Amino acid sequence: MSALEVQDLVCGYLATPVLRGVSFSAAPGEVVALLGPNGAGKTTLLKTLSGLVQARSGTVTVGGRDVTNLRTEKLARAGVILAPEGRRLFTGLTVRENLRIGALTGREAPGIEEVLELFPRLRERIDFKAGSLSGGEQQMLTVGRALIGGPGVLLIDEPSLGLAPKLVAAVFDVFGSLAAQGRAVMVAEQNVGEAIRVADRCLVLADGGIALSAPSRTEAERAHVQAEYARLLAIELPEAS
């Protein structure tokens, strides 16, 4: 499986970059949580890594191969696959049909049966239209479809969005299993407590860059990340008038 390396990445949509000089890595077998408030650049970063936004400068390598600014379909074939915010499923197609679409990368990957073992709820809904699923089921399908693409680097954007708390835990519990199979898993999330719980390492975006990179495997490390995150947010908040 591939490792992700990012060096001095500058990216954004308009004249002023959203992110500047971003550098980090994600190793095979590692869950990396990407944290930050709305507007910090989490989605922009994942879109840049997956080819939906062009980097202005800097490099992205996967397994030592420079993949900077490759088209999304070429990045998917190289093993970089995004499970996007808002799910973006084909709502008129069934669960089975959506999963089959994930296999179009042509990479060696888990089959539908393996995904159904990972998300048993989808087995019960296999012939239902994706648009009829609950939010939690749709999120499971989004991750499952990405998994069938054979990612070495799996990017997951805001997986807790719109989910009930008990479903958030169920979805997040899967991420460690996906990483344990040799993938680098990167999760952009605003639910800080849940993200820190499953992550091996956390990156906090603030003021256009990475304000904190710290391990989060132990209780003490998780407490440190939460404290630093709270401190950084306090710095970012405007003064009361």
What average pLDDT does the structure give for the chain? 89
Give the three-state DSSP class for 95. Answer: helix
Tokens 């132990």 label which residue?
218
> Mean pLDDT, to the nearest integer, of 148-174?
87
Contacts of 225 (CB under 8 A, 6+ apart): 196, 202, 204, 212, 214, 216
> Mean pLDDT, to the nearest integer, of 174-201?
93
DSSP state of 237: S
Domain ranges of the chain: 4-236
In angstroms, rounded to a whole number, what is the distance separating the alpha carbons of residues 28 and 3?
A: 6
Query: In terms of C-beta distances under 8 Å and separation of at least 24 residues, what long-range contacts does 224-229 make, across chains too?
Result: 225/196, 226/192, 226/193, 226/196, 228/204, 229/35, 229/192, 229/202, 229/204
pLDDT for 237 beyond 80: no
109-139: per-residue pLDDT in tens?
778 888 898 888 899 999 999 999 988 888 8
Q: Is 4-236 CATH 3.20.20.70?
A: no
Which residue intervals of the chain are DSSP H helices? 42-49, 72-78, 95-102, 112-118, 120-124, 135-148, 165-180, 192-198, 219-236
Query: b vs e for 69-81, b when ≥16 Cβ sit within 10 Å of the residue's Cβ?
Result: bbeeeebbbbbbb
166-177: per-residue pLDDT in tens?
788 888 888 998
Has this prediction a pTM greater than 0.85? yes
29-47: per-residue pLDDT in tens?
999 999 998 889 999 999 9
55-82: per-residue pLDDT in tens?
999 999 999 999 999 999 999 989 999 9
